[in-house]
Copies of this chain bind each other. A is one copy, B any other.
Amino acid sequence: MRSIGIGIIGGGYMGKAHSVAMASVGAVFNTALRPRLEMIAATTPESAERYRAAYGFARATAEWRELVNDTLIEAIVIASPQELHREIALAAFAAGKPVLCEKPLGASLSDAIAMTEAAEKARLPNMVGFNYIRTPASQYARHLISSGAIGQVVWFRGEHTEDFDADATKPAAWRNQGMANGTMGDLAPHMINAALALIGPIATLVSDIDTVHKTRPSVDGPVTVTNDDQAQFLCRFANGAMGHLSFSRIATGRKMGYAYEITGTTGAIRFDQEDQNALWLYKSEGPAAERGFRKILTGPDHPDYLPFCQGPGHGTGYQDQIIIEARDFLTAIETGKPVWPTFRDGLAVMQVIDAAHRSHASKQWVTL
């Protein structure tokens, strides 16, 4: 066991989540590397200091480059706005430091390509923060599919739907500007990553992308919304399975609609993040009169649950996903080997998003 100096860039929503995760991952997983909250970077000296004190870091800075180059920092978590992901990641690799980057992998496909190339050239641990796929339920779903428990997959439907922008009178904000902050840029990556992980590569798709609330109020009058409120695409996976993915930030009533249903030739799986401790499984076995979707409550028999609790059905939560992610990042550093999902996996997600934008623009099926 040895201490490792962690630097986190960004102290907001995800910066806090990663800070808490780094504070607790050692006790939860008995990791060989024990994070030391060395430095946090934020936009201003005041905010950085506030985050430092709140989360328990040793030092704070308003200059992320200072953090990247600090000799006590041995690993970096990027939780900044996505427009900065590329520049920070490249600087971190240049400084020889492993990087855990929040999704999406940059603000554009070209960002993702540059970041992936830099990571692979540097041969340094690199990981993308797709936390939702790390629930015990979704990890077990992957296992079920890959072990053939539901036969050959013929259908996948996934969605990531929330309703934080459903109210048309909600004032314009940063989320309403720039493709990287729209529904395709911000929400789609999680579910596309899930689709790729659960089913495999996407071969072709045809998409539709929509901005429902075309302006939003502001103190200076109506502001034009420049990105999308909802989007969807039909696809075929490389293995022939038919797929549908949809995304929305205006899905009234949906709070965390990261959900999928997977049909195989001998079984089916359903999952909804709003009840993240349950996985629904149907198997075409036993008497027909006794068949049905069973609600499996996650527990010690499912991946990564036991370190959180010995009792099944007691449940893990959002923060625990980030702790699992931190464990994986530490493992990558300890072993010197990339751990899924790497930047290359994040790039694959960006390629799908790019294809969806192209399909919408051309009104054509697009081949990846």
Binding site for B on A (CB under 8 A): 1, 13, 16-17, 19-20, 23-24, 26-28, 30, 34, 53-56, 140, 149-151, 154-155, 157, 162, 164, 166-168, 206-208, 210, 212, 229-230, 232-234, 236, 242, 244, 246, 248, 250-257, 263-268, 273-278, 280-284, 287-297, 299, 301-302, 308-320, 363-365
Residues on B with beta carbons closer than 8 Å to the beta carbon of A284 = 166-167, 252-253
Cβ–Cβ contact A251 & B263, under 8 A: yes
Cβ contacts A to B, 21 pairs, < 8 Å = A26-B55, A26-B56, A27-B54, A154-B210, A154-B230, A154-B250, A162-B313, A206-B206, A210-B242, A253-B293, A254-B268, A256-B312, A273-B314, A275-B278, A276-B315, A288-B301, A292-B296, A295-B295, A309-B319, A314-B317, A317-B317
Q: What is the copy number of this chain in the assembly?
A: 4
Contacts of A234 in B (CB 8 A): 206-208, 232-234
With a CB–CB cut-off of 8 A, which chain B residues contact A275? 275, 277-278
A160 to chain B, nearest CB (A): 12
With A318-B314, A319-B316, A319-B320 in contact, is A253–B268 under 8 Å at CB?
yes
Q: How far is the CA of A212 from the CA of B241 in the complex (A)?
A: 9
- Say yes or no: A252 contacts B233, CB within 8 Å: no
A248-B263, A294-B293 known; A308 and B313 CB under 8 Å?
Answer: no
The residue on B at minimum CB distance from A282 is B253
- Chain B's closest residue to A135 (CB) is B315
Q: Given A206-B206, A296-B289, does the pair A34, B56 have CB atoms closer than 8 Å?
A: yes
Q: In whole Å, how far is A8's beta carbon from the nearest beta carbon of chain B?
A: 11
Q: Which 9 A-B pairs have the closest CB atoms?
A: A255-B313, A317-B317, A253-B282, A256-B313, A294-B294, A289-B301, A292-B294, A292-B296, A24-B24
Chain B contacts of A140 at CB under 8 A? 289
CB neighbours (8 Å) of A24 from chain B are 20, 23-24
Which one, B1, B268, B278, contacts A53 given CB within 8 A?
B1
Q: Evaluate contact between B242 and A230: CB separation under 8 angstroms.
A: yes
**Does B252 lie within 8 Å of A268, measured CB to CB?**
yes
Task: Tell me whether B248 and A246 are in contact (CB under 8 A).
Answer: no
Q: Which residues of B contact A251 (CB under 8 A)?
A: 155, 263, 268
A316 to B276, alpha carbons, bound, how many Å? 10
Cβ contact within 8 Å between A318 and B312: no
CB within 8 Å for A256 and B155 given contacts A265-B166, A274-B297 = no
Measured between beta carbons, the chain B residues less than 8 angstroms from A236 are: 208
Find A282's partner among B56, B252, B288 (CB 8 Å cutoff). B252
Most buried by B among A250, A254, A315, A319: A315
A286 CB → nearest B CB, Å: 9
Q: Which residues of B contact A208 (CB under 8 A)?
A: 206, 234, 236, 242
Q: Which residues of B contact A149 (CB under 8 A)?
A: 290
